[in-house]
Amino acid sequence: MSSLVATRHAPLPGILCMVAGSACLTLNDALMKWLTPHYPIGELVFLRGVMALCLIVGVAWLGGRARQLRVRSVRIQLLRGGVMMVSAMMFITGLRYLPLAEAVAIAFTGPLFITAMASPLLGERVGWRRWTAVLMGFAGVLVMLRPGGVSWTWAALLPLGASLGAAIRDIITRRASASEYSLATLAFSTAMVSTAGLSTWLVMDWRVPDLRDLGLLAGAAVFLGSAHFLLIEAFRFAEAAMVAPFKYSSLLWGLVLGFVVWGEWPDGWTLAGAGLVVTSGLYIWWRERRGAQRSRRRSM
């Protein structure tokens, strides 16, 4: 019987997984935002989840990895899935009331939450340089959320709460990554989120989607499944507090998508904030790479 891939310290693969996963997540968010004015939130969550679950199981079966769908710790998976379920519902609801770029920007408080929790919950060492870089990235978000950029109503609290939930989910993912298969974690949490969406059928007026919207939902499911698999792998490769700031790259993907699809061109404030976000992520990567090189030289 093959063993699980142990959690390891491989910064570059972890960073690449985080950046690619963030791109897929932003594409999923854009498709869901397109659909939210026309369908109940629960219906969209359910249909997208069922499609994503079919995709995950199909890929596992065709790839000869069906046994990796086996859950080893139901308690951990229930906890992670429950947090993810609440987080997903809050964020998608927020997309209905906020512009995509602004909702994504508010959600960038997540790395700050992760950095704060990584030390007491995971025992990871978070030095002042990493704290400084994360705070600089958060400052970039605040620059983009300048006065007049977002009306701080209750709607702004939805992506903020979703961000806290996502940070808790990522901490749980890091702790579970040494004992749980990525496919099992992904399938279990997707099933829980889908069940939450289905439960709204009793209280909301669902409508039958047309073929075009079904295609958009299928695309969202592909992006969502790919995103979460890549994010799970990112936390398997490297420390949570190290890879988490690279979630800021979602903002860059959002800016590109906004320009290509909706013709939105970012102003100077937005570009300045994005520059701070990118600089913080690159600095953390540079520090991690430099530290790894020193460790290799000492071990020679």
Residue 3 has what pLDDT?
37
pTM as predicted: 0.71
pLDDT digits (tens, 9 = 90+) for 150-205: 545 677 788 888 988 888 888 887 777 667 777 888 888 888 888 888 888 877 78
The verdict on residue 17 lying in a domain is yes
The answer to whether residue 64 sits within a structural domain is yes
pLDDT at 21: 92
Q: Give a yes or no: residue 2 inside a domain.
A: no
**Residue 299 placed within a domain:** no
Q: Which residues of the chain register pLDDT less than 70?
A: 1-9, 122, 124, 145-153, 177-178, 241, 264, 266, 285, 288-289, 291-300
Taking the CB of residue 245, how many other CB atoms lie within 10 A of it? Answer: 29
Examine residue 207 and state whether it is found in any structural domain, yes or no. Answer: yes
Q: Would residue 300 count as lying in a domain? A: no
With respect to residue 15, please indicate whether it lies within any of the assigned structural domains.
yes
Range of the domain at 97: 11-294
Give the count of domains, the chain: 1
6 domain residue, yes or no: no
